[in-house]
Amino acid sequence: MSQFKYNRLDKANVAVLLVDHQTGLTNLVQDFSPDDFKNGVLAMADIAEYFKLPTILTTSFEDGPNGPLVPELKEKFPKAPYIARPGNINAWDNEDFVKAVKATGKKQLLIAGIVTEVCVAFPALSALEEGYEVFVVADASGTFNQTTREAAWLRMQRAGAQMMTWFGVACELHRDWRNDIEGLATLFSNHLPSYRCLMQSYDAGRKAGKR
């Protein structure tokens, strides 16, 4: 018999770690188009805001070529812990970052960042070692090419990390459409043109039915 246990994301027990989404590093992302990648990152940020998830921002070597945090994230989370690491490549090697994670009191971590095999994989593996449940948001994390991405995904999966997409994250956190149709549908519509078409069709059908 399988020993698998489906531990769903629980919005009462989740923290979001956005690691090294920096202006310089975005130029390295080649496994997604620039528009798709930015959309995935901002969708994940909107999910964190919508579900009121504690969110931690961190950067590495801002004064160097990595550059500052992308402005949209700083604007969306003005009160979030913001750890500008002076040089640590693995965010988990930074004491302030680990303190911020532990201060949330959450045991499920949603992690996304640039680049996948380093800035995502290293803290993901470190958090797994310390007993956290780790969920990697694949389409809010980017790297040089598909080969490096798949190597990183495989390494993290074998260690116990679960790979997800921002859309899957939102649905698993929401659990039931009856919790809020308009709010989540608006979030989806803002990031998926096809979903906007779906909602427009739905709204048109409802209006027609009321005539």
pLDDT at residue 211, as a whole number: 61
pTM: 0.95
pLDDT at residue 1, as a whole number: 60
Measured between alpha carbons, how far is 21 from 115 in angstroms, rounded to an integer? 9
The answer on pLDDT for 200 being more than 90 is: no
Phi-psi region of 61 (alpha: psi -120 to 50; beta: other; left: phi over 0): left
Averaged confidence pLDDT in the chain: 95
pLDDT at residue 139, as a whole number: 98
Evaluate whether residue 6 is within a structural domain.
Answer: no
At 170, the amino acid letter reads: A
Please identify every residue annotated as catalytic. 119
Residues 79 and 158 in one domain: yes
16-49 residue pLDDT tens: 999 999 999 999 999 999 999 999 999 999 999 9
Residues 156 and 90 in one domain: yes
DSSP string, 86-101: SS-SSGGG-HHHHHHH
CA nearest to 187, candidates 44, 80, 52: 44
Domains identified in the chain, total number: 2
Q: What is the CATH number of the domain that holds 122?
A: 3.40.50.850
Residues 56 and 92 in one domain: yes
184-197 residue pLDDT tens: 999 999 999 999 88
Residues 160 and 80 in one domain: yes
Evaluate whether residue 4 is within a structural domain.
Answer: no
Q: Which domain holds residue 154?
A: 14-175
Percentage of the chain with pLDDT > 90? 89
65-106 residue pLDDT tens: 999 999 999 999 999 999 999 999 999 999 999 999 999 999
The token pair that represents 129 in the structure block: 């070692």
Measured between alpha carbons, how far is 82 from 87 in angstroms, rounded to an integer? 15
Evaluate whether residue 126 is within a structural domain.
Answer: yes
Task: Provide the edge-to-edge strand list for the sheet that holds 55-60.
Answer: 82-85, 55-60, 14-19, 108-113, 133-137, 162-164
